[in-house]
Amino acid sequence: MKYSLIFMVSVIVWKVSANLSKEAKKRCESYTSIFENDSIDLQYAYVEDIHDGRGYTSGRAGFTTGTGDAILVVKKYTEMKADNPLAKFITELERLAKKGSGDVSRLGGYPSAWKEAAKDPKFREVQDEVNDDLYYRPAMVRAKKAGVKSATGMCALYDCVIQHGDGDDGDSLGAIIKRTETSEGGPVKDDEKKWLKTFLKTRRYDLQHPYNRDTEEEWKNSVDRVDAMVKMIDEGNMEMKGPIHVKTPNHDLTIP
């Protein structure tokens, strides 16, 4: 699952984690947005059932109804603004998150409600806050622990956690890092590029052979987000310097 107690632990130790500069973070988020929504701009109003076993995928980080992160967004927004179009789904979202269910049969009207809420700047701010709490900060904690110091390396971990989550399953960011460290003999030592390419190779294999078979078809079609990162490293852009031209069989966009 994408959501687990590890996120809470990671946020607590945030002060000792790595960090991206404001400019690098923006480019990294644009990079992820390309592969999530085919746009360098964050898509707060996006919502779709992509049939990956996780229910509706929605918002800037692909918050899903079946893994426990969409409910966090909706509940936090409802605490700020009780009268909102998504509030009526809280009970069902809690049920789905508890079961880890991708069932959308009781979520009639959810897509239009999400799109309506996304018109509100406060809802977009909530998405930013939940994304940082659940994905960005934990990825930076992982980067610190693994000895990853480059901006591109930190972005590689962030992009991975957005898609794979950091729960206790074999597809998670933590599991992929563990397999990388087994191959590389531990965290980064002298050659970060080599370590990162092993990490990306390990992630690519996981996309092609996921532990969660419900994601298999969708994930096999997304290996280009790993290949584009490898290309960036091969070109020597280790600090997410712009412009970054991302050209794959599925995407052709430039990050300023």
In terms of phi and psi (left: phi > 0; alpha: psi -120 to 50; beta: otherwise), the region of 55 is left
Tokens representing 63 are 């918050």
CATH of the domain at 244: 3.30.386.10
DSSP conformational letter for 57: E
pLDDT band at 214 (very low <50, low <70, confident <90, very high): confident
Domain assignment of residue 24, given as a range:
6-250
φ/ψ (deg, to 5) at 129? -65, -45
Pick from 170, 141, 171: nearest CA to 154:
141
**Tens of pLDDT, residues 121-171:** 999 999 999 999 999 999 999 999 999 999 999 999 999 999 999 988 999
Domain membership flag for residue 132? yes
pTM: 0.90
pLDDT band at 1 (very low <50, low <70, confident <90, very high): very low
Domain membership flag for residue 210? yes
Q: What is the helix (H) or strand (E) element at residue 39, kind and residue range?
A: none
Per-residue pLDDT at 60 exceeds 90: yes
Distances, alpha carbon 128 to alpha carbons 8, 25, 30, 146, in Å: 17, 12, 13, 25
Domain membership flag for residue 159? yes
Domain membership flag for residue 78? yes
Domain membership flag for residue 71? yes
Domain count, the chain: 1
φ/ψ (deg, to 5) at 88? -70, -15
Domain membership flag for residue 169? yes
Which residues belong to the active site?
A: 36, 52
**Tens of pLDDT, residues 62-121:** 999 999 999 999 999 999 999 999 999 999 999 999 999 999 999 999 999 999 999 999
pLDDT for 4 equals 37
Domain membership flag for residue 217? yes
**Tens of pLDDT, residues 2-57:** 433 333 334 444 455 789 999 999 999 999 999 999 999 999 999 999 998 999 99
Pick from 30, 121, 33, 37: nearest CA to 84:
121
Domain membership flag for residue 256? no
